[in-house]
Amino acid sequence: MSAPAWFTRLEPVHRTPGRVRLRYAVRPGAPADEPALRRAVERVEGAESVRVNRAARSLIVRYDGAVTDAERLIAAIAALAVPDATAGAPVPAGGGDRGGAVAASLATLLGSLLLPLPLRLPVSLAAAWPLLREGMGIYAREGVNSHVLEAMAVSISLARRDFTAANTTTFMLALGEYLEETIARRSDELLKHLLRPASDQVWVLRDGVEVQVPADTVAVGDSVVVGAGAVIPVDGTVLSGTATVNQAAMTGESVPVVRERGDGVLSGTLMEEGRLVVYAERVGAGTAAARIADYVEQSLTAKSATQLEAARLADRLVPTVLKLAGASAVMTGDWRSAASVLQADYSCALKLATPVAFKSAMYGAGKAGILVKGAGALERLAAADTVLFDKTGTLTTGMLQVTDSVTFDASLSPDDLICLAASVEEHYFHPLAMAVVAAARETHNRHFDHQEVQFIVAHGVASVIDGRRIVVGSRHFVEEDEGIDCTAHNEVVGRLYAEGKTLLFIGFGGRLAGILALRDSVREASAATIARLRRAGVRRILLLTGDHRERAAELADALGLDGVHAELMPRDKARIIEDLSREGARIAFVGDGINDAPALAGAHVGIAMQKGADIARLTADIALLEDRIERVADAKEAANAAMSLIATNYRLTVGLNTLILGAAALGLVSPIGTAVLHNGTTIGILLNALRQPAPARA
């Protein structure tokens, strides 16, 4: 009779080209540990990588679309049979099982020394049997690899009745695997711990009354009430209240920040003091925290070119180690040297140290406010020699500031004009309105009492002050909709427009009372960021923008950029990137708008600003979690540091293991000594990979 199906439930919950996420349940009594499930699914035709989340009962499978599709892959996984426990099934490798194996092998090592000689063989064989069984099973399925070499080394020691060597090797292998898995698992957990889980219940205002509702029922436009000690459940804008918010989980900022009316807040951040009412702009799966969770899940399964090459090299070296073991036995006439050589392979450190270093670097970047979507993005950023910047919201703040207040009413001073406009604009959440309100706060902040404010979509606002109608908005609104003649002031209007400024027209009592001019400002840290990028190895920095050529050239000169392309359409940015790529440039593009999405996707690595449009942040390989341009330089420096660490670990792995192999082949090191040296150096290299420093914060 055929074996029963391994999975009793296999439900697809999310799929993208080349990737599928499945919710699963295993048959009672069947293996449920992560390594066993992962190895089984990896053997399915077309599967490239598998990640198992036991807590969520989730399988994330990446597959080759040229070999299979999602439906066939799911069907093949569903058809997997429960493995025969006696037929080389994978040995469970969970942390608890490995810990038990370490304890058992240590007890055997110490106890066998006290046993009579006739009992030492069966006891040692029993202790080594899981290792030998796994080696035989892997050999039958995959051929010779590092696990098979280890099983051969223990077999040789048992055959020579060198029980101390066999038991010591078994113990060191169990200890090494336990520590290696613990370190690798810790690097995954570090990434996952960037997020703080939100509550299942949320307080919202409904008809002026606070009610508690399930978190998954909150909709865009709801007014969410957040009190001290609670985690903010949505992305949005503060409608009322003042509070201190700890944003460390999302931005890495160690000092809580003050949030009040008009400020943006992120889901996953913690309210320390105060109370806020937040207008929900992104909810559920659309929030920053939910998107980060998905990015982290993807990053744990993604492999970089460096990681894949390290794994391929490790596999290629296995036959070399096997041949060296045979040659050593012939040359020395001692099978102990063969057992020593077989233990000193390159596989563990090469295959584990690289992903651990990448994940540790990604964790450090995440704490510093930089979300890296996979090891490949970090690798490509380290190789980037050309950085292209969008202008608005990137090198500039993207936040308008009032630069000119021109009054045409003798009864109003320039400050009065700003305060007059702010009195009605303060009820409106729009970048222009918020800029006017901010400018009013810097004046004597006179407030004009008014009646109810009317919002005219895409035009402006209107109200009544002292019996006179006031309108604030575009020239079209003031001139054509309100009938206010502006032609007498065309010279002033033309001059301000020529300076690249945005204009707000204020009509009061049927006449043009004045004009407010606003302009984006250059970020204070832009120049320093450019200098840091050059020190980090970037040879060329260019500006790509849809803005006027004169304004773009002025900014490029001020920041010392190498060139500027202005008055561009979105397709023009993508074309420039394509042209530079053909010339051999390795490009990082930094942008924030919907129009930047094609360029972000076309660059070798795309970096999206924190306040960027959703499509920009989803398209980018790296997303900044706080609105600071210096994080671009932090990201480049972190990528360089990660690749430098990986190169160091690679040299250490090859160098140390070559020395150990050479000594073992010449009979200078016993199997016990080889086991200690090999596992000790491997663990040391993994710990070094895990200690990846976070990028410097400016």
Which residues are the active-site residues? 390
DSSP H stretches of helix in 117-211 = 117-142, 146-159, 163-192
Residue found under tokens 């711990």: 193
Cβ atoms of 338 and 156 closer than 8 Å? yes
236: phi then psi, degrees, rounded to nearest 5:
-175, -165
- Name 469's bridge partners: 464
In 439-522 the beta strands, taken as DSSP E runs, fall at 454-456, 460-465, 468-473, 502-508, 511-522
Write the CB contacts of 166 (distance below 8 Å, at least 6 apart in sequence). Answer: 124, 128, 154, 157, 158
> C-alpha 567: how far from its chain's center?
32
Write the CB contacts of 54 (distance below 8 Å, at least 6 apart in sequence). Answer: 32, 33, 34
Beta-strand pair 223-227/270-282: antiparallel
Give 333: exposed, middle or buried? Use CB within 10 Å, 0-12, 13-18, 19+: exposed
Per DSSP, the three-state class of 22 is strand
> How many whole angstroms separate alpha carbon 618 and alpha carbon 614?
6
> How many whole angstroms separate alpha carbon 73 and alpha carbon 20?
9
> How many whole angstroms separate alpha carbon 473 and alpha carbon 434?
13
> How many whole angstroms separate alpha carbon 359 and alpha carbon 299?
8
C-alpha distances in angstroms, 98 versus 43, 179, 410, 498, 526?
23, 9, 84, 71, 51
Write the CB contacts of 505 (distance below 8 Å, at least 6 apart in sequence). Answer: 472, 473, 474, 475, 477, 478, 479, 484, 486, 512, 515
611: phi then psi, degrees, rounded to nearest 5:
-95, 15
Which has the closest alpha carbon to 239: 210, 267, 212, 260?
Answer: 260
> How many whole angstroms separate alpha carbon 261 and alpha carbon 257?
13
Which has the closest alpha carbon to 75: 14, 26, 5?
Answer: 5
Residue found under tokens 């370490």: 102
Question: Quick one: tokens of 4?
Answer: 């029963």
Question: Quick one: tokens of 278?
Answer: 């937040």
How many other CB atoms are there within 10 angstroms of residue 560's CB atom? 11
